[in-house]
Structure 1
């Protein structure tokens, strides 16, 4: 897993269908998962499971995927911020964080890829 830091520890995440990893530094945790080799609905399912980990915190969630997950972004309210970076190997890295000043709240149970 080239995009998961070597010091990250594998963790169990409820509802996840891929491995998740956690790296803690200075009291802040970053969670990682890679769905770049997975098809629908795995990217959506795992993102929603991972977003529950950072809800209400200063932690971050890093998703490695084969493309920008536009369907996922459409399901998020303004409580979740994200940035997208295209990687040299053609994959996409999405970094999610929690917005404490949000007006809306995402429903992390919405894991279907349609609508």
Structure 2
């Protein structure tokens, strides 16, 4: 069972090493990617690539991973909100959204440490 909606459309994302998908509803997009079968540094690399899609927008990003990415959370400033939810199969679904906080997360740092 995929946690990415079947109606989402595959898109190209600069710097990504996994497939990304976009689901447009009304005037906002939700981007999805799954790194649950990837090892470091792929989850971080893809998260940073995906976060660039939502920076300064009303769009959201959904990451499916094998665990909550604590190293990624530590790199985010107050301009990127995130919530994690345990889902079937022992996976974690992390939803990221942009927050207008006047702060700017550095999305170029893709190392896990």
TM-score (normalised: structure 2): 0.98
Matched, 1:34 2:34: yes
Q: Which runs of 5+ in 1 are unaligned?
A: none
C-alpha RMSD of matched pairs (Å): 0.8
TM-score (normalised: structure 1): 0.96
Task: Give the structure with the higher percent helix.
Answer: 2
Cα deviation, residue 21, structure 1:
0.1
Taking the aligned partners of 2:33 and 2:23, their CA distance within structure 1 comes to: 12
Partner of 2:3: 3
Summarize deviations over 1:83-106 as a string: whole Å, max 9, x none.
Answer: 000002100000000001x14210
Q: Which runs of 5+ in 2 are unaligned?
A: none
| Superposition pairs of residues 17-96 of structure 1, within 5 angstroms | 17-96=17-96
How many residue pairs were aligned? 113
Taking the aligned partners of 2:14 and 2:45, their CA distance within structure 1 comes to: 11
Taking the aligned partners of 2:109 and 2:77, their CA distance within structure 1 comes to: 12
Taking the aligned partners of 1:33 and 1:2, their CA distance within structure 2 comes to: 11
